[in-house]
Structure 1
Amino acid sequence: MVIIMLRSMTGYGRAQYDSAEYKITVEMKTVNSRYLEINVRLPKKYSFLEKNFKEVVQGKIHRGRVDVWIGIEEMNRSGYNVKVDKELAMDYYNSLKELANFLDISPQISIYELCRLEGVIILEEPEPDQEKIWKNVLIPLEEALDQLIEMREREGANLKADLEKRNENILHMIEEIEKNIQK
């Protein structure tokens, strides 16, 4: 007797991992596709992780289109450096004053408005520790992947039961037809 394990092509998994440094959310879904196609969406800063994600997913899923979404929120902002481009701010200020004079309106420029202009405030982010972030991301990735696979297996079991029931109905109809033919 051969036991066949059916898996549905559709599935979903979601996991979240919170540490002192990161809050990481991984969501995955799969849909029917003849070949394996993996699409990873994550913050640009962490694009170096994409290859690792694909390798882990390929280790457990062999067919279908897999969409993976990763959200990474840093809980500790130490190491960030905020700079002000004073020359650019002064250029903006002078240009806005000049425009106000040209339009014959009162130049009321607040520091808040000036800081919102492109390039005045510069946030320098530290380079992420690739090994540390990968270790943190791997935890919810594997959990979401396990949930997705479990869902595909449950759906596969439902499909198998449905197919077996339909097969029994067909066999029963064949028996009825054969009885009627013999009469």
Structure 2
Amino acid sequence: MPTDPDTIELSEDELREIAGYAADCARRALSVFEDVLPSDTRPRDAIDAAHAFAGGGRRTGALRQSAWAAYKAAGEADSPAAADAARAASHAAAAAFLHPKASAHQVKHILGAAAHAARAEELAAGEGPPVTAGILDWACHHAPPAVTAVLGRLPGAPPGGGRVGEFIRDLDAALRA
């Protein structure tokens, strides 16, 4: 089947692998959020919803709503580290809705959970470069084949985005190498 030059092929199995990877990355920083707001379950719910989709669950409105709820939790967090941890969770649930567009913006949807989790842990640790290097190395080595396959169909990560954008570009380059 011919494809529009502005689209890529993207299977449901690939979406599931990407969402599972994003959830695993976000879960690494979940305690950063829960240490600050232990009664707020929105980020945990989003990660759990992403894992459920990755395990064969349906892509539903509830999954999308869990992504938005975690995003809202990020906006309500007083701690920058907790906010980034919640954004990682939001990206994990949203990864199930990756678009088959040949756009550099889609790279942020694939690697956003990992990058925000790295930033959350970096902020929680006092911006120590060794912490960040270990987190990004873990994210690189735990990426399933679908992550690298889909990245290979997309243009490179876009510029901008501050420290999180830098992490996305670093991960993108490492995963394409």
Mark the structure with the bigger radius of gyration: 1
* Structure with greater strand share of residues: 1
**Higher RCO (C-alpha under 8 Å, 6+ residues apart):** 1
* Structure with greater helix share of residues: 2
Taking structure 2 as the reference length, what is the TM-score of the superposition? 0.25
